[in-house]
Amino acid sequence: MTNIPLYGTTHPTQTDAAREQAPKRSLLELTQEELADYVKSLGQPAYRARQIWDWIYKRYAADFASMTNLPAALRTRLEAEATVSPLTPIAEVVSADGNTQKVLFQLPDGQSIEAVLMLYERRRTLCISSQAGCGMGCTFCATAQGGLARNLTAGEIVAQVLYFARYLATPHAPPAMEVERPTHVTNIVLMGMGEPMHNYKNVWTALRRLTDPEAFGLGARHITLSTVGLIPMIDRMAEEGLQIGLAVSLHAPNDEIRSQLVPINRRYPVAELLAAVQRYIEKTHRRVTFEYALMRGINDAPELALELAQKLKPLLCHVNVIPLNPIPDSPYQPTSDAETRRFVQILNENGVPATVRLRRGIEINAGCGQLRRAMAA
């Protein structure tokens, strides 16, 4: 994998006690073949592996005790030496309108990550994390302020989806939200903590598990991966053959502003990034989304909207204009509703499709990294 410079500080927090304790085997890290080998090592027939696999990925079992078609002795042994999920929820908040739920999870080594469930009229969308922290250093992002601790494993990425799939499938499970259950996950966006392209191997292992009909089985077109613009990885993604959506966090139409907001732009400037997106479109024939978080007095001027339109018009794309979820005491604050509408109007009038993303969960720190930051304060 191409070496990517990190912006920010790495802060490992694993304790001596955690290192000394023998970790349980996480079954979410295993392929079907590896799970079969593990079950065989326990002296069990091959079909037991298929039963366990179905309990995890089709029935969203939270523990081995619920796997009632397994022998009691096997369930006891699995409970002693393995785990279904590496995540422990440590904080949970629901928005006042009941449409957004955010959960802060602790990982086995003490690190923490966030994931968000957002309810729309027909969609049940998850925003999941790919890293504990982030090394890209975007100046307006709460996650970036803590630096990068480590990459998530493929199993830790998948576990976030299974947690909420279990919640949606279980009638009356707390917390209460404005959703009639049972229902199911319809969409996934990798727009939570971390830069997915900086954890490429584990992210794509997780994506193949999530789209595999034999596993979670969500259609690839219902998943979107967001990147700040790691060009080598965009080119690599174009060769994957899986119809995962690509979103690029642009936030400015030129290098002067973007380099201040997104430091990786100094290595991969706007012109080169847009050329990579064009290559991606030519290879995949898929529309790309550009994310543009509007910040008052920084990137929201009408002339910047016009400049953005001129640069994006040749591309098969859509602009997702995002009202910023502000960090307290930050110089980056959201643009007014009127200025937001004007920005979008300029894009549309100049041939670039653009819409405003519905802001969700502002009062519950639903922006990337905000709940984690608040809990650490």
pLDDT tens, residue by residue, 226-269 = 999 999 999 999 999 999 999 999 999 999 999 999 999 999 99
| CA gyration radius, the chain | 21
Instruction: For residue 127, indicate whether it is catalytic.
Output: no
Domains and CATH numbers, the chain: 31-83 (1.10.150.530), 88-376 (3.20.20.70)
Residue 62 banded pLDDT, cuts 50, 70, 90: very high
Residue 97 has, within 13 A of its CA and on its CB side, a CA count of 10
Taking each helix axis from N to C end, the angle separating 47-57 and 32-41, rounded to the nearest 10 degrees, works out to 130
Mean pLDDT, rounded, for 47-70 = 98
Q: Is 250 assigned to a binding site?
A: yes
What's the pLDDT at 374?
Answer: 53
Long-range CB contacts (within 8 A, 24+) of 172-178? 175/92, 175/94, 175/101, 176/94, 176/98, 177/94, 177/98, 177/99, 177/101, 177/117, 177/119, 178/97, 178/98, 178/99, 178/119
Model confidence at 84: pLDDT above 50: yes
Q: Is 134 assigned to a binding site?
A: yes
Q: What angle do CA 255, 258, 263 make, to 5 degrees?
A: 105
At 173-217, the pLDDT tens digits run 999 999 999 999 999 999 999 999 999 999 999 999 999 999 999
Model confidence at 15: pLDDT above 80: no
Q: Which two three-digit tokens encode residue 298?
A: 């920084």
Please say whether the beta carbons of 142 and 373 come within 8 A.
Answer: yes
pTM of model > 0.95: no
Model confidence at 154: pLDDT above 70: yes
Q: Which of 27 and 365 is assigned the larger pLDDT?
A: 27
Of 134, 128, 124, 200, nearest in space to 158 by CA: 128
Residue 296: CB atoms within 10 A of its CB come to 16
Q: Which of 29, 114, 156, 291 is catalytic?
A: 114
Residue 362 banded pLDDT, cuts 50, 70, 90: low
Of 232, 242, 253, 241, nearest in space to 317 by CA: 253
Q: Is 351 assigned to a binding site?
A: no
What's the pLDDT at 33?
Answer: 98
Distance set, CA 157 to CA 32, 151, 200, 367 (Å): 17, 10, 12, 18
Model confidence at 85: pLDDT above 50: yes
Q: Is 171 buried (19+), middle (13-18) or exposed (0-12) by CB count in 10 A?
A: exposed
Q: Which of 29, 156, 317, 368 is catalytic?
A: 368
Q: Which two three-digit tokens encode residue 199?
A: 């954890």
Instruction: For residue 368, indicate whether it is catalytic.
Output: yes
Q: Is 34 assigned to a binding site?
A: no
Q: Which two three-digit tokens encode residue 68?
A: 């009632």
Q: Is 226 assigned to a binding site?
A: yes
What's the pLDDT at 371?
Answer: 61
Model confidence at 9: pLDDT above 90: no
Of 92, 204, 125, 98, nearest in space to 157 by CA: 204
Q: Is 317 assigned to a binding site?
A: no
At 265-282, the pLDDT tens digits run 999 999 999 999 999 999
